[in-house]
Structure 1
């Protein structure tokens, strides 16, 4: 009798184990595969289950499952959940701003909603070409789509119907060259960044209601003198486009946000500034890279003399860390737009004009560099040990993420010219071209 009971217990345990394993394996496929512009972990890394089957080669007739037509213009990255791909567009003059949902499997347009109309719009000035009025990407939560156009408007939509649940059009900022920072969703908070010429601040909204939970202005001293001896009072010297990183340091969740002339870290719960790092650049547009196992934040400082800075973080980090917590600084050869990716202790990054470099994360030493064709605004993705880069002419280059340079494939599809980061879901790559959204997938 005892043996029978023991056998039943073992069988029951095995059944439970198999059931839990099936849930674990299935869970990533049922929720948001690419809920943020930099993927599920905000670092551009593709889930292992998808990485194995991503195609390496494609043409306009091979391994392109479909292409869906897009209207007007935008830089926003596709985000994907529950079988729908979401992105935004805007008219060239910025007077109308739209959100679009596309069926992930068929490419059918499911929703094309005019969300905001603007009577008055700031001119983009010299930013025309690398910015427009639909640059921030959407972010996805359970049953919800959060759409953001900077000071022109922020809204929460029902993911099934695209109906507006709440909207805010009272978050001011003189963008000067257009908005660029995307929203970040963490638990019940939607974090928004506004770095304009008139004011620079970060705010957290209640994701459920849209109510403001906190607002913290940057503590940066913009009144000090620049290199030309003049006060940094206006224009690009105060601008930034950075989407913040959300990182866990001990028991504390921090918001790492890079602005002009300095970056700050804020407590996610309260908005309290925790520490700051000074730098000499502006127009920062690259999200910080967080390496939790090394307790390092990799910071790109901006567009003028952009530096790559490794900052050591722990629970005691506070105040001005410029002279106390910097592990290394890479002075030259850094991008303005494309976010770096880390793999096996190596950092890979591509500059605007296509210089790809491999850097040792421990000391910032350059191990190799190699030119890949074209100009780059889009951040790469990492799938297994393969890096995927997409340039502004439609060329997709696949590179081995290793200590020696090795190009695996180059794929030229002119209509695939992109300024938006690629996205991945269900073993397919989604690339936003100027006129179409492409789905790249092996049969």
Structure 2
């Protein structure tokens, strides 16, 4: 299965022949589609969180016919992929979006629970293991001590509405982080920000929470105060998802800062330790045979010791591929498959 901004959702057989094509509208966000589709109970499930008209869609995996669709009012742009959480003999679809995590029934898409405490825009995809779900999200303006705040609309309008028409164009915003996010405020893309659009963005900056947190299963309704096991709010990844492996949680912040936590308590094993490979990290970490593999956007694979007795960061190797990497490696039959912007590599023992 693949999803593309223009043609929609497509399915191919193993010989590369197109089986079906489900046309979809172009996402209402300048970055296009960011989330990947998943398979759940014979359905292909995709989320389209965009600046207006967000939704969760399930289609029949064999035919591409719609099985169900759930609207997501209030959710603006996010790029986290849906996650199929399997636990206690059941399955649910978890989607991390702006300010909230929500869970949906696989059968018909009805909402099971929600949890507050995510960033204004979410990129990372949840992971699960050891009887918990792990959610991570970070975005500009949500850190304690570095929060972005917006003045009330009437106050801002009085100071900046140059032509006194009661709405705001991009040119009427002073240079800075708010103006930089004009396209997010301009929900309907008419080149003007209304009171409603402005105040919605103001509320999002006010309510956004940058954190990584663990959720125990079994919740219903709003589980914010009942099912969150632990959380951390410093040195979070931006795009890459956390890794839960052998009782520990691994995360890499842009700049090459690695952190490790006890999966059951959130206790810090080590935090913000340098990998000595700077730059951004869009690829998520993977693990096998007591090692964690972390890949920088510039194309260096860092191998970390993931032994249970390790109490500090121990880098085993740094391997420069020499090509940009945005995709997460795949581990199959003792081999590491790594896609760069130009090639597909396979690594393993001869």
- Taking structure 2 as the reference length, the TM-score comes to 0.74
Correspondence for 1:387: 292
Within the alignment, does 1:163 sit opposite 2:17 as a pair? yes
1:185 pairs with 32, 39, 60, which one?
39
Q: Give the alignment of 1:11-160 within 5 angstroms.
A: 146-150=1-5, 152-160=7-15
Correspondence for 1:14: none
Shift of 1:154: 0.8
Kindly provide the CA deviation profile for residues 346-397 of structure 1, in whole angstroms up to 9, marking residues without a partner as x: 1111112111011112221211132111221101110121011111222111
Matched residue pairs, number? Answer: 276
Shift of 1:279: 2.4
Within the alignment, does 1:430 sit opposite 2:332 as a pair? no
1:313 pairs with 217, 221, 226, which one?
217
Q: Which has the larger radius of gyration?
A: 1
Does the 8 Å contact 1:150/1:194 carry over to 2?
Answer: no
1:212 pairs with 32, 52, 66, which one?
66
1:203 pairs with 57, 66, 69, which one?
57
Shift of 1:151: 5.8
Counterpart of 2:139 in 1: which secondary structure? coil
Shift of 1:436: 2.0
Correspondence for 1:287: 125
Kindly provide the CA deviation profile for residues 89-122 of structure 1, in whole angstroms up to 9, marking residues without a partner as x: xxxxxxxxxxxxxxxxxxxxxxxxxxxxxxxxxx
- Structure 2: state its 5+ residue gaps: 143-209
Does the 8 Å contact 1:218/1:264 carry over to 2?
Answer: no
Within the alignment, does 1:176 sit opposite 2:80 as a pair? no
Counterpart of 1:396 in 2: which secondary structure? strand
Within the alignment, does 1:420 sit opposite 2:327 as a pair? yes
Write the distance in 2 (CA, Å) between the matches of 1:151 and 1:269: 28
Correspondence for 1:367: 269
1:440 pairs with 335, 338, 347, which one?
347
Write the distance in 1 (CA, Å) between the matches of 2:25 and 2:38: 16
Kindly provide the CA deviation profile for residues 307-364 of structure 1, in whole angstroms up to 9, marking residues without a partner as x: 10111212xx111111221111211111011111122321111112111011112221
CA RMSD of aligned residues (A): 1.8
Kindly provide the CA deviation profile for residues 195-227 of structure 1, in whole angstroms up to 9, marking residues without a partner as x: 0101211111000110111111225x46xxxxx
1:301 pairs with 116, 119, 137, which one?
137
Correspondence for 2:184: none
**Relative contact order higher in (CA < 8 Å, ≥ 6 apart):** 1
Kindly provide the CA deviation profile for residues 69-100 of structure 1, in whole angstroms up to 9, marking residues without a partner as x: xxxxxxxxxxxxxxxxxxxxxxxxxxxxxxxx
Kindly provide the CA deviation profile for residues 283-311 of structure 1, in whole angstroms up to 9, marking residues without a partner as x: 211111112x42x1111134233310111
1:254–1:150 distance in 2 versus 1, CA, 3 Å: farther
Kindly provide the CA deviation profile for residues 178-207 of structure 1, in whole angstroms up to 9, marking residues without a partner as x: 211001012311011100101211111000
**Which shifted more, 259-268 or 282-291?**
282-291
Does the 8 Å contact 2:98/2:122 carry over to 1?
Answer: yes
Counterpart of 1:368 in 2: which secondary structure? strand
2:314 pairs with 399, 406, 409, which one?
406
Q: Give the alignment of 1:351-366 within 5 angstroms.
A: 351-366=253-268
1:386–1:410 distance in 2 versus 1, CA, 3 Å: same
1:338 pairs with 240, 263, 269, which one?
240
- Structure 1: state its 5+ residue gaps: 1-145, 223-237
Shift of 1:148: 1.0
1:276–1:151 distance in 2 versus 1, CA, 3 Å: farther
Kindly provide the CA deviation profile for residues 388-414 of structure 1, in whole angstroms up to 9, marking residues without a partner as x: 111122211111113322111111232
